[in-house]
Amino acid sequence: MKHCNTCATTKDISEFDKNKQKTDGRSDKCKLCAKQYRKDNAEKIAVRKKKYRQEHSEEIAVYGKGWHQENVERVSTNNKKYREENAEKEAVRCKKYRHENPDKVNARNAKRRAAKKKRVPKWLNKARKAEIVVLYTQARELTKLTGIQFHVDHIVPLQGKTVSGLHIPDNLQVLTEHENCSKSNKH
């Protein structure tokens, strides 16, 4: 027999499915009591959690960073799925960020332009440069025809963490804005 301190009921442990039972042996009634307690004391619990997070912020940060590093693929998949399911919401969020942080956006764009200049090899001749212009023209034309924004993407990113590509026609492809932005700086 197990006793619930919250609801003061006594139940025989054998009544419950052993597979569904929690390890502490709480009954279904006790689970309902706990759920009701959380509902009735939501503010009190929120204050306690906030205080705990403030007192243990460093430990939580270390744990979170470690978990994130161990689950990079899972996080990436979940983020991609969220962006796809909430494309309009994400577009509004990005636009708001650009509007509120023009300095950061300009710095990122300047860094990208500088990297692009460094990634144009000297052996790139006029014909190959013309191929690059054709790709940008294709992207612009596709945008006009479909109404969907198209970008020219570097297959191997110019500023990759492990590998950096060149700004040459063989490393460029035309993608939709959504595909290009969700790919980010990944190879």
Residue 29 has a pLDDT of: 61
Q: How large is the average pLDDT for residues 136-150? A: 90
Q: 175: how many CB neighbours lie within 10 A of its CB?
A: 17
Prediction pTM value: 0.46
From the number of C-beta atoms within 10 Å of its C-beta (0-12, 13-18, 19+), residue 7 rates as middle
Residue 108 has pLDDT above 80, yes or no: yes
Q: Which of 70, 90, 124 is the last residue of a domain?
A: 70
Residue 25 has pLDDT above 70, yes or no: no
**Structural domain includes residue 121:** yes
Instruction: Read off the pLDDT band of 105 (50, 70, 90).
Output: confident
Instruction: Read off the pLDDT band of 96 (50, 70, 90).
Output: very high
Please indicate, yes or no, whether residues 171 and 108 belong to a single structural domain of this protein: yes
Please indicate, yes or no, whether residues 58 and 114 belong to a single structural domain of this protein: no
**Structural domain includes residue 4:** no
Mean pLDDT of the chain: 82
Please indicate, yes or no, whether residues 171 and 120 belong to a single structural domain of this protein: yes
**Structural domain includes residue 155:** yes
Cβ proximity of 13 and 2 under 8 Å: yes
* 26-68 pLDDT per residue, tens: 555 677 788 888 999 999 999 999 999 999 999 999 999 999 9
What's the CA gap between 150 and 132, in Å, rounded? 15
Residue 9 has a pLDDT of: 53
**Structural domain includes residue 125:** yes
Per the structure, the complete domain to which residue 144 belongs is given by 101-183
Instruction: Read off the pLDDT band of 71 (50, 70, 90).
Output: very high
Residue 99 has a pLDDT of: 92
Task: Please tell me the total count of domains within the chain.
Answer: 2
* 151-178 pLDDT per residue, tens: 888 888 887 778 888 888 999 899 988 8
